[in-house]
Structures are given as structure tokens and as C-alpha cells.
Structure 1
């Protein structure tokens, strides 16, 4: 269970291991975040806060398959992430679901075949059910050739109607490693504005 959460509004980053959440966090905050070649490096929430604004970005631990991490531990991490978001939903200004643009469709389809709801789809709907404005940050887009087709397919898997361009507040193609995150910051800016938190736009 994650304890010691600072009492303030936040944007949470959620997603599988190794999709680039910590790299994205570094882009958004300007803070160096420990990233590792091994999945599962982030085991506790990483909070980056601005005390004067009562606001923070939170990078939650990655979930899903992690090489060398027992299944029982993986499930516990996922449960902790879900409970954290559920418990603090009233203070979450936006949820950012980070996915790997190159592999997300294959991963979703592979798990759909097994008759289960894939983690990414499940988490997307979970955030929406909690009335948390949700942005899917589709990372590593520099490695994707058929960009529009891939993003339309992702909309289709998430249960929203393509074309993706009509969902710019929900679907944000980015490349965190190259510092190209404007689609995400634009979407977050819209959600901040809608919640009358224009005071936070300077952080984007």
C-alpha cells in the first residue's frame, strides 16, 4: 500500500512497465527521475510537487509483465496502483495513461485473445468511471510509420470512435525521449482550464 501522499491536487501517470513513464515525468517536471533498463524500477509513487500551488505530478509504478518479477508481486503492484487512484480520485485533475505506440495494439490484441480485458483498456475505462479526465499519451511515436492508422486502431480498441484527430483531449501522440510532448501538455491544459485551474498552466 502506498502511504505518505502529500495532500494536494495531482496529475497521475499510469501504465505498463517500460513504456517511458519516468522519461515523460522528467520532461514534464524538469526533474531527473531514476529510470532503469530493468522493468519495475519504480516501486513507489514518485511525487514532484509545487508546495506554493498545492499541485504535483505523480509517477505510479508500472504494472503488467516484468521480467524477473514474480506474478504475485506484479498483481500486488497493480492492486496498489488501482487503490491509490481510487482513494485519491477527488484530487486527481487528470490521469495520463502512457502506452508504447509501437507495441500497444499487439499487446492489447494478444491479451484480448486470452478472453481477458487487457490492462491498458481496463485502466482507461477505470479512470473514466472515476470521472477522472483521461489522456492516453502514446509514446515512442518516432518509431511508428503508419501513425494515423495506428492511432485510429488504438481508438477502436479503447472503444472510442476513430478518427483519432477528434479526440485531441484524449489521445496524445508523443516522443518523451526527444522532448516532444506538446500534444500531451495541450490536452492537460484543456483539462486544467475546464476545472478552473488556469493557475497550473505555467507547469505545462
Structure 2
């Protein structure tokens, strides 16, 4: 399921829970439609979109975490597949975009913070950083958020980085994918691409 990766040296990956808008974001970035749906877990295997001339692939990994109607074992298999994919390709991944739902992310993190388990979003953020993959948190659906700065500051706090969020603009990017409002994300991704001397990929962001 996870061995469909085109043979490209450079990659940007989208990771995140089910139903946070990864496939919509993928469509906005590529201009190419992928399966999206209201039902969580529509994307069960990676969607790759590659530009062979640039030796570059953009990958939308399956959603992780709870999915209604999907058995627990299957959910664990998907999560394990994502972890292995990221570990196996860490050297080639220039940037990881961790997509979260700006409206619900704080509640979800707090609901799963009981000391016993680390919430998936927080765990994934730290896991990507442990792999030395530059990570941008794309905080999606910001058109539905009223207290924007407060919400983004709270997210920094939950992720273990010091608010205010505005000092982390290469890490925290408020977006509304459905409306094509991606400028904060594009800027953040470009910062990381530039650091890795891949300004030639700016045209995709």
C-alpha cells in the first residue's frame, strides 16, 4: 500500500488526521483532483503527484487517528505505514506539511492529553522533528475561527513551542485550503526549500 512512491530525489509530504483537508490542499497545490469525501479515511494509500523534470514528488499520506467505520487494527496499520514511510524517506523529504483543523485541533489535543498517551498531532509534530524533517503546521479552515491569534498561540503551547505564534512563521501557517488561501503556507515552505538550495521548486508553492 505504501510502496507506490515514484523514484524522485526530492519530496514534500502532507500528513495529518482524517478529514482535516489534506486532499483539498493537495488539489490546490497541484491543480489536480484527488478523491475527497466527507467520510474519514477516503485516502487509504499515498497519493503521489510527481514532476519528473524537477525530480520532485508531492505526496498526500493517508489520514491517521480515529476514523469512524474503520476497524482499530486497520487504523493502526495505516499509522504504522505512515511512520515507516516517513522513516524510510526522511533523507529525501525536504518539507513535511502537518495539516490540522484550526477549528477543532485544540479540543482534540486536550481530549487526548491524559498523561498516558500523547495526542497524534503532537506526537507526529515531534516525530517529524526527530527525523530532522523541516515541518510546517498548516492550520486549515481558519475562515471558521474567530479568535485567530489566541487559537494559534494555544496551538504553539500544545506543540511545545513558545507563543506568540507570529515568531514561528516558518512553522505555523494559517490557511483556508478550500478558498485557496495558502500564502502563509507557501512562504513557510519556500523558507525551508531555500535553506536546502531548492529555490527551483518555488514555482509549486
TM-score (norm 1): 0.98
Matches within 5 A, 1:9-88: 9-88=10-89
Secondary structure of 1:47's aligned partner: strand
Question: Residues 58, 127 of structure 1: CA spacing in aligned structure 2 closer, same or farther, 3 A cutoff?
Answer: same
Worse overlay, 2-11 or 169-178: 2-11
Partner of 1:6: 6
Q: Does residue 164 of the first structure (1) align with residue 165 of the second (2)?
A: yes
Secondary structure of 1:193's aligned partner: helix
Secondary structure of 1:90's aligned partner: coil
Q: CA separation in 2, counterparts of 1:182 and 1:47? A: 22
Contact 2:4 2:46 in 1 (8 A): no
Q: Report the CA distance between 1:25 and its aligned residue.
A: 0.4
Matches within 5 A, 1:87-106: 87-106=88-107
Partner of 2:112: 111
Secondary structure of 1:7's aligned partner: coil
Secondary structure of 1:142's aligned partner: helix
**1:72-119 CA-partner distances (Å, limit 9, x unpaired):** 100100000010000000000000000000000000000002621000
TM-score (norm 2): 0.98
Partner of 2:198: 197
Q: Does residue 147 of the first structure (1) align with residue 177 of the second (2)?
A: no
Secondary structure of 1:112's aligned partner: coil
Secondary structure of 1:57's aligned partner: strand
Q: CA separation in 2, counterparts of 1:102 and 1:121? A: 16
What is the number of equivalent residue pairs in this alignment?
Answer: 204
Q: CA separation in 1, counterparts of 2:183 and 2:22? A: 15
Q: Report the CA distance between 1:203 and its aligned residue.
A: 1.0
**1:180-199 CA-partner distances (Å, limit 9, x unpaired):** 01110110011110000011
Partner of 1:133: 134
Q: CA separation in 2, counterparts of 1:140 and 1:37? A: 15
Q: CA separation in 1, counterparts of 2:108 and 2:7? A: 35
When the two chains are superposed, the root-mean-square deviation of aligned CA atoms in Å is 0.8
